[in-house]
Amino acid sequence: MTTILDGKKLRDKIFEDLKNKLDKMPVKPTLAVILAGDDPSSRIYVNNKKKCAEKLGINSIVIEYPSDVTEKEIIEKIQELNNDNKITAILVQLPLPKHIDKLKVIDTIAPQKDVDGLTTTNCGKLFAGEKPYVYPCTPKGILLLLDEYNIEIEGKHAVVIGRSNLVGKPVAQMLLNRNATVTMCHSHTKNLADIIKTADIVVSAVGKNVVGEKNIIKSDCVIVDVGIFRDESGKVRGDVENVSPAYLSPVPGGVGPMTIASLMLNTVELLSFA
């Protein structure tokens, strides 16, 4: 029988605790979100983040730019936010319009206001085994979910599929820092099925169905499905289908709610560096 790693339930618990904490705080954090371009999904994500922050008692502002905004304009705005004492957390909604250098923009954020934990300083700290100001939201949410279900990480073989800076690389490093033996897989991996066969934990962050009925998995395997995409019929799907591991995070309702919970946790944590 598969136990569902219920991200919604844990998110609600985290929100309840955070709300109580925020109610007692004399100074509230303020999250500034930069939204550039007209990607409809990005707009939905930003609205959700704003609504969520407001519900918990976190101040938030959204700074919007058209898709022809220049890199210079965004960078100057971030510099202004870095120097504004009222702003305690800064997030740049990705993807940015194609002509903008994403890494350059992210690296303009002061590391102590980098709520996504994606600046070179915060990533560098994570990879050096030091504590970053905050951990990247999705990987942090995944670890919180595994911990909530008392899933042992130390000494386990964790297979991470996908190597993005946003999810794959940081989650692999966080699992490694917790003493897992980590194998990273990507689109050039030749023997994915053989590797999955030996996994105690699988974290799949691809955006297409890569784990399915063709796969043999250990009966006590834990699978975290990060991927989310719409197929041709418009149905929302994850990377993982038709397998029965011991634990599985559903799509939707698994990692997605944990990402927003981590964002809110990070926003509050960063207040201590303001």
Task: Provide the binding-site residues for ligand NAP, judged by CB under 6 A.
Answer: 138, 161-164, 166-168, 185-189, 192, 205-207, 210, 226-229, 255-256, 259
Catalytic hit among 77, 93, 113, 173: 93
Q: How far is CA 167 from the centre of its chain?
A: 6
Quick check: is 49 catalytic? yes
Location of structure tokens 């371009």? 37
**Distance between CA 63 and CA 21 in Å, rounded?**
27
Sign of the C-alpha dihedral computed for residues 133, 139, 141 and 145 taken in this order: negative
Q: Closer to ligand NAP at the Cβ: 77 or 237?
A: 237
Dist CA 119 CA 16 (whole Å):
29
Catalytic residue among 116, 200, 225, 239: 116
Smallest gap from Cβ 254 to ligand NAP, in A, equals 7
* Whole-angstrom distance, CA of residue 174 vs CA of residue 165: 13
Asked if 208 is an active-site residue, the reply is no
Residue with tokens 């919604």: 8
42: tokens are 């990005």
* CB of 156 vs ligand NAP, minimal distance in Å: 20
CB of 19 to ligand NAP, least distance (A): 21
Element holding 102 (H helix, E strand)? helix 102-106
Min. distance of Cβ 230 from ligand NAP in angstroms?
10
Q: Is 112 annotated in the active site?
A: no
Report the residue number, 49 or 113, with the smaller CB distance to ligand NAP.
Answer: 49
| Residue closer to ligand NAP (CB basis): 119 or 259 | 259
- Closer to ligand NAP by Cβ: residue 57 or 207: 207
Residue 90: name the closest of 240, 268, 267, 273 by CA: 267
Question: Residue 91 gets which letter from DSSP?
Answer: E
Residue number closest to ligand NAP, CB atom: 207
Q: Which is nearer to ligand NAP, 20 or 198 (CB)?
A: 198
DSSP letters, 185-253, are E-TT-S-HHHHHHT-SEEEE-SSS--BSTT----TT-EEEE---EE-TT--EE-SB-S---SEE--TTT
Distances (CA, A) of 104 to 2, 14, 27, 101, 107: 43, 32, 31, 5, 5
User: Residue 185 CB, nearest distance to ligand NAP (Å)?
Assistant: 5
What is the nearest approach in angstroms of ligand NAP to the Cβ of residue 218? Answer: 19
Task: For residue 40, give both structure tokens.
Answer: 């409809």
User: Cβ closer to ligand NAP: 41 or 179?
Assistant: 41
Indicate which residues carry an active-site annotation.
49, 93, 116
